[in-house]
Amino acid sequence: MPKPESTPARADLIRRLTEAVRRQVAWTVLHNQAIAERLGMSATDLHAINLLDIEGPITAGRLAELMSLTTGAVTGVLDRLERAGLVRREADPADRRRVVARLVPAGMERVRAAFLAVGTGVQDLYAGYDDSQLKLLVEYTESNAEIARRITAQMRAGASGPDEARDGEMSAPLGGATAGRLEINGNAANLRIRSGAGAALLYTATFERRAPRIRARGGTVTVAYPGFLALGAGRGVIGLNASIPWTAELRGGASNVDADLTGVTLTGFSLTGGSSRVECRLPRPAGTVALRVRGGASRIAFRRPAGVPFRVRVAGGLSKLRVDAKQYRAMGGPAVMDSPGYEDASDRYELAVEGGASHITVDGL
């Protein structure tokens, strides 16, 4: 659609519109602050309530993405709102392992009452426009909101450097990364990996005690654990940005690692150098996704979505393997086992076991 010709009258209209929008934003912010003060909460808490009212029940990770906050900060928000009787946490009906935040109707009555005056005024304003005018207002408002959202995300992404600590978390901006790679070196222990970094962040990380050294370059996040069996590093959680595909590699040994990757697109996963008690929950694959266990491993479990075909290729010794309901013992390579439908499937997993292993399980989520 060609742009209208610029005229003095048109320039004046754009100036007036720009000033009117700025004035509306300023008074909206001040109004929300006044409502928050009346309700005894922060403006951030009120913003979270507004998003939950619009989006419905969502996870803390999703709320963090919408608010461009770290998951640690959002957890604090939800804790305050839960104590105030405005929010409750409950199991997600679609996935009992996940927790969603839901508004409490009884608690929301006083919030809605606080907004009643402005809400009534706006509805009276809308009543004075016909359908075509309302359609134009909808298109303008939605487009303007998207511009603000996009620019805000870009500003937040550029506001902090790699490994900056915010609200007790380390993080790095997503920047221009279109794919991610997580490399964990050393003897990682008591670690949880999941999706949940904010929309503008490549990753987030929190640890109970001294954290391992973490560096982000481009889309690669490198985690270096200190000492034998990660002595000095406490329990930790690493969150990955769910908007880009990820490859993950644990090198040098891992113990008590829970990798819940169901919320990301996975392009590869490998354990190298000896690992024990590692569980990896897999998302639905796109294409053939390679998994690898190399250099000795014990008690490793891969959980995949129902119906996803799986191949296990053994190149070294394997003392015990369970694939769904089937048990295999004392296997020597080379050997290949396919689940039903593997050859005909375009989206599938292939696990290569090299260098000796024991107690490997492949089953459903």
What's the pLDDT tens digit per position in 66-113? 776 777 778 888 999 999 999 999 887 767 677 889 999 998 999 999
Q: What are the Cα distances from residue 240, in Å, to 109, 289, 334?
A: 36, 18, 35
Q: Residue 161: what pLDDT?
A: 42
Average the pLDDT over 342-353 and give the result: 91
Q: Residue 164: what pLDDT?
A: 45
Q: Residue 333: what pLDDT?
A: 66
Question: Distance (Å, rounded) from C-alpha 310 to C-alpha 329?
Answer: 19
Is the Cβ–Cβ distance between 133 and 140 less than 8 Å?
Answer: no
Average the pLDDT over 299-325 and give the result: 85
Is the Cβ–Cβ distance between 221 and 214 less than 8 Å?
Answer: yes
Identify the band that residue 330 occupies on the pLDDT scale cut at 50, 70 and 90: low
Q: Residue 213: what pLDDT?
A: 86
The token pair at 340 is 């039903």
The chain-wide mean pLDDT, for the chain, equals: 84
Specify the 3-state DSSP secondary structure of 49: helix
Average the pLDDT over 23-51 and give the result: 88
Percent of the chain as helix, strand, coil, to the nearest 5: 35, 40, 30
The CATH class that applies to domain 8-128 reads mainly alpha
Specify the 3-state DSSP secondary structure of 222: strand
Q: Taking Cα atoms as reference points, which of 272, 250, 266 lies closest to residue 179? A: 266
Residue with tokens 């991610």: 180
Percent of the chain residues topping a pLDDT of 90: 34
Ranges of each domain in the chain? 8-128, 167-364
Average the pLDDT over 278-305 and give the result: 90
